[in-house]
Chains A and B, each alone.
Chain A
Amino acid sequence: MAGLTKKGIGGFLARQGILVAFAVFIIGFTIANPRFIDPDNVMGVLRSSAILGVMALGVTFVVISGNLDLSVGSMMSFSTIVVLDLHDKIGPALAIPAMFAMTLALGAFIGFLVGYLKLNSLIVTLGMLSAIHGLTLTYSGGKNMDIDDKEGTWFSVFGQGDALGIPIPILLFALVAVLLGAMLSKTPFGRKVYAVGGNGTAATFSGIRRARTVFMCYLISAFCVAMAGLIQASRSLGSQNTVGQGLELEVLAAVILGGASLLGGSGTIFKTVIGVLILGFIQNGLLLVGLQFYVQFVVTWIIIILAVWLDIAAKRGKLWSPIA
């Protein structure tokens, strides 16, 4: 590392600071409660991170393209409720595609508003958060959704099954991560997503159909949400209609932790996966140390602020903002 100036080390730390902090956390948690690195515990964390993780993959596309999606939490509630409900009405084989179609329709609507009508994505998805929540409540009649015959259905395989010793949710997460990762980093579409997020004007000047690219990102996000809903529904075979509430912030935290810039144009699927894992292990560690569940909220808050702050600080070269 010869030639690293003071600035260089500072910059390095800022970029890798999250990994460093994470390493510190792991050591700290393990000392506090050795169960932390117990294989069963690790597997448990991975399994429960899968749902959040799949959603984070889709949101990564949206964020790289320069937008936000705060509706993923309530959209996931919607997906879960719908598939559970349809499972008993038209059977799982039809319920799953139907649910995907409905979720994608929601995603298409949002994609249309943000991509083609060019409305502000923060406010639109905030509004959709409420609208979809209302939709879910109306659909479920305010009640919880349960499958009648929990033992006899193959539907549970997605959330509870195993293949080659690895829980299916983890496999699904990995599969979607590989597919979306390849799409983002190796296909022309992925290139366009980076361009639109990096400099939307230049992307248009280069002949990229910006509206269409943004629209597709929201479709991808909706697909991932549907997948997450599937896993969740399959795992518990019953659900409250608020199951996804608040997930949008955790997903965002994971994406930001992974180093994606909220301004758009940077981030990768791999880094988001790391962010998801870091978040999952931190939350698990906090629980094992005996802290209350809701402490996670506070910790996630601090993580979001710190991660974005350090990212901005690294870009402008100064830790503190120049605002007078």
Chain B
Amino acid sequence: MQAGTLSKYLKSGAIWGFIVLELIFFSIAGEFLAVSDKAFMDADNMLLLFKQSAPIGIIAMGMTIIMVNGNIDLSVGAIYAICAIVLLDSMTWPMFAGLGDWVIPVAWALALLTGILLGALNGLIVWKTGVDAFIVTLGSMLGYRGLVFMYNGEQPTSHLNWTLVDFAEAQFMGLHTATWFLLAVTVAIWFLMNRTVHGRNAYAIGNNREAAVNAGIRIGPHMMINFMIIGFLAALSAVVFYSESGSVNPNDGQLYELWVITAVVLGGTKLTGGAGSIISTFGGVVAIQLLRKGLAHIGADTSTVNLVIGLILIVVLFLDRQLNVKGKEELKI
């Protein structure tokens, strides 16, 4: 079992090693290629890193549950966009006109509720029709995005509420609001996955679905709850981000699912389900964000970043397969 144990250590430690590598690479490369004068590993820059990781990171926690469970959710970007619209636009609705700043929690609640409902719809379809999650969410990726465009055509939806913006831009004890949300979500989901029955069942279902069914675990409601969780988190991510930004374009959030999945897979969660850890996903999120920042630091543009992210996902898949090869005795099918 030599190969197996070695690869296990390699895999769990790998993401942190990768992050260190990135830090070193971009710090050095930054000396030669940097667009700005500041060093890469500047304290402010690193704090900013965590804040910028929040949108993807919050959703990635939910995606970890979904993937451990043996499913996948490609519609998170679209849910993110819809919830952003609900958040910003609801603050302008006439029925809330008299609330003043109290409209903020109402808007938040509506946005979060939207996320939960959209997630529930995905989960319900997967449960009751038996259609595979990737097709269901591939479809809702399109359908929900259609709803986004139907709302305001190709115009952005905006609303600025300065109380909200101030809150979102604030820093508590040195960390940005967004960072706090990311940390809170990470802790909460970690707790869910490792300390609750629901979380342990998720691993069981993803690992050996038949055994779970035979043990009496009800798969349908479980999956639906997971989709509601990720819907909620996509909404939360939108709330956190757009509270500060105040304006959402109908194309926002596009390819978020790719980023999130890349971060989760990079962190070591298996595509087939049954294995994955929240801590490693956090590592994956940081690694991806570090990559984005690093590339920007040395002058690469969005297109290069897209190219690199896409390729990284493929490389990770390849490495995952290589480290899982059972060795000489395998059947060459």
Q: Which of A262-300 contact B (CB under 8 A)?
A: 262, 292-298, 300
Q: A135's contact among B125, B218, B303, B313, by CB below 8 Å, is which?
A: B303
Q: Is A118 an interface residue (CB 8 A)?
A: yes
**Contact indicator B139/A301 (Cβ below 8 Å):** yes
Whole-angstrom distance between the Cβ of A162 and the nearest chain B Cβ: 33
Residues B258 and A321 in contact, CB atoms below 8 Å apart: no
Stretch of B141-149, B167-175, B180-188 lying at the A interface:
B141-149
The yes or no answer to A182 lying at the interface (CB within 8 A) is: no
Q: Within the assembled complex, what's the spacing in Å between the Cα atoms of A129 and B141? A: 15
Determine whether the beta carbon of B142 is less than 8 Å from that of A130: no
Q: Is the CB of B130 within 8 A of A305?
A: no
From A301, which residue of chain B is reached at the shortest CB distance? B143
Q: Does A28 contact B (CB under 8 A)?
A: no
* A301 and B317 within 8 A (CB): no
Q: Is the CB of A324 within 8 A of B220?
A: yes
Secondary structure class of chain A's binding surface, majority of residues: helix
Verify if B280 is at the interface (C-beta below 8 Å from A): no
CB distance from B191 to the nearest CB of A (A): 26
Contact A127-B311, Cβ < 8 Å, known A246-B142, A324-B213:
yes
Is residue A5 contacting chain B, with contact meaning CB distance below 8 A? Answer: no
What is the bound-complex CA distance between A312 and B135, given in angstroms? 12
Chain B nearest CB, measured from A307 CB (Å): 10
Residues in B neighbouring A137, C-beta threshold 8 A: 301-303, 306
**Chain B residues, Cβ within 8 Å of A138:** 301, 303-304, 307
Return the CB mask of B75-103 against A: 1 if under 8 Å, else 0.
00000000000000000000000000000
Given A137-B306, A312-B129, A119 contacting B136 (CB threshold 8 A): no
CB distance from A108 to the nearest CB of B (A): 14
Q: Is the CB of B128 within 8 A of A129?
A: no
In B307-331, the 8 Å CB interface with A consists of 307-314, 317-318, 321
Chain B positions 226-278 with a Cβ under 8 Å from a chain A Cβ: 255, 257-258, 261-262, 265, 271
Complex contact A130–B309 (CB within 8 A): yes
A118: chain B residues within 8 A (beta carbon):
321
Instruction: Report yes or no: A301 in contact with B146, Cβ–Cβ below 8 A.
Output: yes
Asked if B321 and A117 make an inter-chain contact with CB atoms under 8 angstroms apart, the answer reads yes
* Pairwise interchain contact B146-A294, C-beta atoms closer than 8 A: yes
User: Which of B136, B142, B149, B304 is in CB contact (< 8 Å) with A249?
Assistant: B142
CB A225 to nearest CB in B, in angstroms, measures 17
Contacting residue for A134 out of B138, B140, B305, CB 8 A = B305
A131 x B307 contact (CB < 8 A): yes
Q: Could you tell me if B313 and A126 are in contact, using CB atoms closer than 8 angstroms?
A: yes
A304 touches B138 (CB 8 A): yes
Given known A-B contacts A130-B255, A130-B310, A131-B310, A302 and B138 have beta carbons under 8 A apart: no
B 94-132 to A, binary, CB cutoff 8 A, 1 in contact else 0: 000000000000000000000000000000010111111
Once the chains bind, are A134 and B139 in contact (CB under 8 Å)? no
- Whether the pair B129, A301 counts as a contact (CB closer than 8 A) is no
B residues near A21, Cβ cutoff 8 Å: none
- Contact A297 to B142, CB < 8 A, known contacts A117-B318, A127-B262, A130-B258: yes
Other than the given A246-B142, A294-B150, 5 more pairs (CB < 8 A) read A117-B321, A123-B317, A134-B310, A200-B333, A262-B132
Interface pairs (28), CB distance under 8 Å: A113-B314, A118-B321, A119-B321, A123-B317, A124-B314, A127-B314, A130-B258, A130-B309, A131-B311, A133-B303, A133-B306, A134-B308, A135-B303, A137-B303, A138-B304, A138-B307, A204-B332, A204-B333, A249-B141, A262-B132, A298-B143, A300-B139, A300-B142, A301-B142, A305-B129, A305-B136, A312-B130, A313-B130
Q: Residues of B with Cβ closer than 8 Å to A?
A: 72, 74, 125, 127-132, 134-136, 138-147, 149-150, 153, 213, 218-220, 223, 255, 257-258, 261-262, 265, 271, 301-314, 317-318, 321, 332-333
